[in-house]
Structures are given as structure tokens and as C-alpha cells.
Structure 1
Amino acid sequence: MSETVAPETRTHAPGGAQPRRRERRGLSRKHREWVAAGLFLAPDVVGLLIFVAVPMVLSIALGFFQVSGFGSYTWVGLGNYERMMNDPLFWDSMRITGLYVVVLVPVLFCVSLGLGLLIKQKLPGMAVYRTALFLPYVISLVVVGLLWKFMLDDQVGVVNRALRSLGMEGESWLGDPKFALFSVIAVMVWVMMGYYMIIFLAGLQDIPAEYYEAARIDGAGPWSTFRNITWPLLRPTSFFVLLMSTVAAITGGLDLIFVLTNGGPANGTSLAIFYIYQQAFGFGEYGYASAMGSFLVLIMVAFSAVIFAVTRGGRFDNDS
């Protein structure tokens, strides 16, 4: 009896204890991983809460108050939003912003994609050109605005002097409502194209070279290769560029507008973000400006949701 019971005791006792010890070690390891992940994420999370989330919540709350120059707050409810709906200058700035986005985003997209395709070629000196094209993005927009304001000057500007040397008349690029907005768009494309060129270049380099070799063997030309290989596989990168450039067009460019045109001539370059800035820091209408800013954020969130939905569809198509 002792010989039969002892083996069973030796067999089951260690076997029952070992899984429990492994389970404890597994839980402990998982707990340590969660703690490490939390510590790594903590600085970014705290930064986002302090500098993004909290100001956004305060801005939304401020939209329901009227703030006087002496710091007093008066509850007006939806009064600021009703004022916004009946403000023709605000809707005119939204119209200008829409035109600005509709022109800027496609031009920036095409120019950046073309530069990405060009830089991808293994030609001598491409590293120098890539650096030169990216440099405008790292320069302050105030410096860029001052530089281009001098270059586009009616009398001494380099652009008009070059046109006159060719026998053409110069234009008031920043003083004529017909040209001012498009001049700002051209400058913004010059600033941003290097950044999105790098993003497109990264997407192009992720496409396997075997696909291009197979297309070359099959006798496909450059356009056929781009249409059937490059463009479909570049779709996720393309949607990312569209999303980021659209958000940048709606919310960015305030410094450039302020330096180049200050919203003129005749409010022809007064984008929504510039009009909100004027109401807040020019006229002290902080509550009204917060209400308009919240409305603009809602528009961007809705547009971003549409872009993300289309992006998921594009990735699904590529995966299938």
C-alpha cells in the first residue's frame, strides 16, 4: 500500500503546484509590463491633458459666457452661437476658408507626390535637393512671411522685377483681392511641400521593388506602373496626407496671414482662424471667439471621421 500511494503523492503534488507558480509568475510579468507601459506613456498623457484636453474643455465652457475686458463672466447660454449664426463676417471667413482648403490641399498633394516620385529616383545630388526642399518647413512662418512679403512687394519685390525684365507688368500680389489669397496659397505650398514629400517618399519606399521588376518584365510603361502599382499601394499614405494637410489648412497659416496681409485686402484673406483671433485678441470677445473655435473644431472632427472611414475602406481594399 505504501509503495502505491507514495508515487501518486509524488506525481500529483508537484504537478499541481507547478502550474500555480507559473500562473503567479505570468500575472506578475503582465503586471510589470502594464506598469512599464504606463510609465512610458505618462509624460505624453500628462502633456496632452494639460496642454490639449484641459484648454479644450475650458474653451468649450467659455463659449457659453460673455467676457468683459475687466475679467467678468456673464452667462449667456447659446447667445454666442446665435450671434455666430447671424454674423455675415464669420460666414464670409468660412467661405474664404473653404476656397483656401479646396485650392491648397489638391495643389499641395500633387506637388508633394510629384516631388516624392522625383526624389525616389537614384540620381546624383538627390540628397541635396531633398534637404533643400525640406528646409522651408523648419523655418518659422513669421520669417517665411517676412521673406515673401519682401519678394512680392509691388515696387522692389524680386517677382515683379523679374516680370518687368521680361517685358511684363508687375502685379500687386498682396494688395489686390484677385491675387492675395492665391499668393498666400502659393507661399503655403512652398512651405509645406517638403514635409509631405518626405511622407510620400516613406510610403513609396515601402512598396516592394519586386512589383516594379515584374511590371518592367511585362512591358508596362511609367504611367501604367504608377496607375496599377504605385497609386493603389500608396492609398493609405495618400489619405493620411489628405487628412493632415486639410487640418493644417483649416487651423494653420495664422502667422503667415498675419504677416503677409493681416487679413486684407478687403478681408479677402481673412480665414476663419484669423477672424477668431481678431475677435479674441483684437476686440476682447473671448467668449464669442471660443464659441466660433468650438464650431470650427466640430467641423474638423466630422471631416476627420469621414477621412478615417474612407481610409479604412482603402486599407481593406488593399488587403483584399
Structure 2
Amino acid sequence: MTTAATDVLARPPRPSSTPGSPGSPATSPPASPSLPAPRRRRSRPRWRTYLTFLLLAGPNVALLVVFVYKPLLQSFQYSTLQWNIGSPSARPVGLGNYVDWFTDPRTPQVLTTTAIFTVATVGGSLLIGLGLALLLNRRLAGRGAARTIVFAPYVLSGIAVGILWLFIFDPRYGLVSTVLGWLGLSSPDWYNDSPWALAMIIVVYLWKNVGYVALIYLAGLQAVPQELRDAAALDGAGPGRTLRSVVLPLLGPTTFFLSVTSLLSSLQSFDIIHAMTQGGPLAGTTTLMYQIYQESFVSGRAGYASAVATLLFVILAVITVAHLKLVERKVHY
């Protein structure tokens, strides 16, 4: 036997390369074909986002800047000047206009009238509006017509409403005088007695604006789940207890919204006062807002009127922020 044949016979046998046979080495599975990487969604360019924002919000921001913020800054600037409307010149006086307002003997009366008018109109609107909303939320005949009648005065002109109610409150021939005469009572002198004139203004303001409050409260009442009322009834709660413990807490956001908007609207009321009393008698119905009109367009003291307007803005801002901080804590959304 040759040497080559001897070497072949002396070699150990090769292990079988068949996968899965005993003693065969572990083999890795065949590699799967590589898949293409998923495409990343191309992010929207930032300039397009900014352009969309400018197109949607730009007109509103421009209107606010032109008609709100610019006049506000100009009002503060004019409040530091002694300037009469129509005069070509103005003299800087610093904070002199503010000092004159705080030392004016009429200022306490104006502030008192403003406070009484605001508290009476805001509180009365919320209470009467809630009562009307509860009534109009029931299933009554002619409910749709009643809702329209209640809301209709809100869309009327304040000047027209004031002139109409002047005839109603006429001490001799008005409807109020006639009704009081049936009851054996004499009509007050609404036009010449300061407390009665202020009460007349408050009544007319409530008649005009209470429909708006009732409408918003009605929407809030219809959003209260009926299941909660049924659960309260099953627990033995009567209508009054259900109103206090279930309905009113759920109306918290609505009450909060109405209290803020009614407060701002009341402090800026002008048209009804101008149509009915023009701030009289003896400045008995002159509020801060009406004083701004009198000082600027009647007396011509534009600088002084701008100072009063700036103070009114500060009062509105302080009351609104305090209201937001104190009342919103008790509101549950």
C-alpha cells in the first residue's frame, strides 16, 4: 500500500455537514434579505408653520394692536398733558391730572355711585338670570316664545331703550305712575331725586341685560347630566337640595364667566345713563365711565379725561385679576 493511501486511511472521518444530524456543528440560519429602512416622515418646514400662524392670527393681532393697545398707550400719554380738545398745543403736567382727580370733592360721590350701580346690576343680573333660566328650562307651553321675549331686549339699542323707559317712568303720565296710583301710592320724582334716579337706571339696565345672563345659564342647565339629578332624587334629595348640591356646583364655570363679563360690562355702561339722566340730577348717576365722557366732550378737558380713563382701566384690571385668583379656586370644571 502506498504512503498516500495510508494517510487517507489514517485521517478521521469528516463530520456530516447535513444540518440536524448528530454531531454536526451548529449552523446559522440563512440571512434574510435586507428590507429597506422605513422612510422618515418629512417634518413640516418651520416657515410654513409660522406663515400659517400669521395668516390665521395676524388680522386679529393687528386689530387688537390698532384699536386696543395703541389707544391705551396714547391715553396714558395724554393723561400726562394739560390739553383741551381742539387746542393745537398741550403742556406736560406729569401726574397733575391724577392729583386733581384724587383731590376733587366730586370723586367720592362718583366712586360711590359706580360701586352701587355695579354691585346692584351684577348681582341682580346673576340672580334674576338664574331664576329665569330655571323657569325657562321647564317643559312649559310657549317656552320658545318666552325665551325669545326674554332675550330680545339685549339686542336693542341702549339709547332706544332709555328713551322708551323715560315715558314709562314719567311721574305724571307714565305706566309706573299709573300702576302705583291703582295701589294708592304716589309716584316718586324719578328725574329730580338722586336715589330714585339711580334706582331707575339700575332697573332699566337689568331689564335690558338680564336676558343675556338667562340665556347663558340656560345653556349651562341643559349641560347638567340628567343622571345626576335622578341619582340625587333616588337618595331622597328634594328639588331645593338638588339645586344647591348638584346643579349650582356644576354651574360654577358658567357663573364665573358671567360674573366677569357682567362686571366689565357694568363698569363700562354709558348709553342708558346718557339717554335717561345724563349723569344727573346733581351728578347722582354719574359713574366713572360717564365722567370720562363729560370731561372730554362736554368740558373739553381731554388730558383730565384720559387720566380718569387710565384709572378706570387700572380698576378693571385689578378687579378682574383678583376675581380670577379668588373665585376661580372655588370653580370645579
Q: Same fold (TM over 0.5)?
A: yes
Partner of 2:28: none
Q: 1:138 aligns with which of 137, 146, 155?
A: 155
Is the 1:90–1:272 contact (alpha carbons within 8 Å) kept by the matching residues of 2?
A: no
Runs (5+) with no aligned partner, structure 1: 1-6
* Aligned-partner residue type, residue 97 of structure 1: T
Mapping of residues 89-168 of structure 1, within 5 Å:
89-168=106-185
Q: Secondary structure at the match of 2:82?
A: strand
Gaps of 5+ in 2: 1-30
Q: How does 1:168-247 map to 2 (within 5 A)?
A: 168-247=185-264
Q: What residue in structure 2 maps to residue 260 of structure 1?
A: 276
What pairs up with 1:64-103 in 2 under 5 angstroms?
64-68=80-84, 69-103=86-120
Q: Quick check: which one's helix share is greater? A: 1
> Cα distance, 1:108 vs. partner?
1.3
Q: Secondary structure at the match of 2:283?
A: coil
Task: Quote the Cα distance in structure 1 between the aligned partners of 2:59 and 2:317.
Answer: 25
* C-alpha distance in 1 between matches for 2:316 and 2:168: 33
CA displacement at 1:190 relative to structure 2? 0.3
- 1: distance between equivalents of 2:220 and 2:52? 31
TM-score scaled by structure 1?
Answer: 0.89
- Distance in 1 separating the partners of 2:168 and 2:261: 28
* Distance in structure 1 (CA, Å) of the matches to 2:192 and 2:125: 24
How much does 1:296 deviate? 1.0
CA distance in 1, matches of 2:214, 2:99: 42
Which residue of structure 1 lines up, in the alignment, with residue 299 of structure 2? Answer: 283
What SS class does the counterpart of residue 195 from structure 2 fall into?
coil
Deviations 1:38-60 (A, max 9, x none): 32222222221111111111111
Equivalent of residue 18 in structure 1, options 35, 39, 43: 39
Query: Residues of 1 paired with 2:320 and 2:32: CA distance?
Result: 65
What is the one-letter code of the residue matched to 2:154?
A: Y
Name 1:294's counterpart in structure 2. 310
Moved more, 138-147 or 95-104: 95-104
| Pair 1:304–1:9, CA change in 2 (3 A) | farther
Cα distance, 1:8 vs structure 2: 10
Sequence identity of aligned pairs in percent?
35
CA distance in 1, matches of 2:201, 2:66: 33
Question: Distance in 1 between the 2:217 and 2:106 partners?
Answer: 37
